[in-house]
Amino acid sequence: NAGVTQTPKFQVLKTGQSMTLQCAQDMNHEYMSWYRQDPGMGLRLIHYSVGAGITDQGEVPNGYNVSRSTTEDFPLRLLSAAPSQTSVYFCASSYFSASGSYEQYFGPGTRLTVT
């Protein structure tokens, strides 16, 4: 299994440009999430999904859109990039275990700079 993969690894955008960060998982996990991490800070949840066709907002959703058309893919769209969106973006997937808990598996991250 490749686990959780993210592309691209690095991206530089100009203010106002749009782009899509890709995330894919091959573990058949129901739940997927997007986080951002600013320098020296903890992770903050942007959007998450509990299954194909179902998404919801996290702590910092403004400026981002998501969709989940398949179990495997959960792309994150930046509508009009701003310097405040310069950050490292992590995608994660998770499953609910028979023991009643769940664990998140994280991708390697996309480092985005908006100038």
Give me 46's structure tokens. 């942007």
CB of 63 to another protein, least distance (A): 19
Region 35-94 residues binding another protein, contact defined as CB under 8 A: 35, 41-45, 48-50, 58-59, 88, 90, 92, 94
Alpha-carbon distance 39 to 22, whole Å? Answer: 22
Residue 46 near residue 98 (C-beta atoms within 8 A):
no
CB of 109 to another protein, least distance (A): 6
Of 12-20, 29-37, 75-83, the segment contacting another protein by CB under 8 A is 29-37
* Distance from C-alpha of 86 to C-alpha of 20, rounded to nearest angstrom: 14
Antiparallel, parallel or unpaired: β 10-13 and 110-114: parallel
Q: Does 106 bind another protein (CB under 8 A)?
A: yes
Region from 17-25, 79-87, 107-115 binding another protein, contact rule CB under 8 A: 107-115
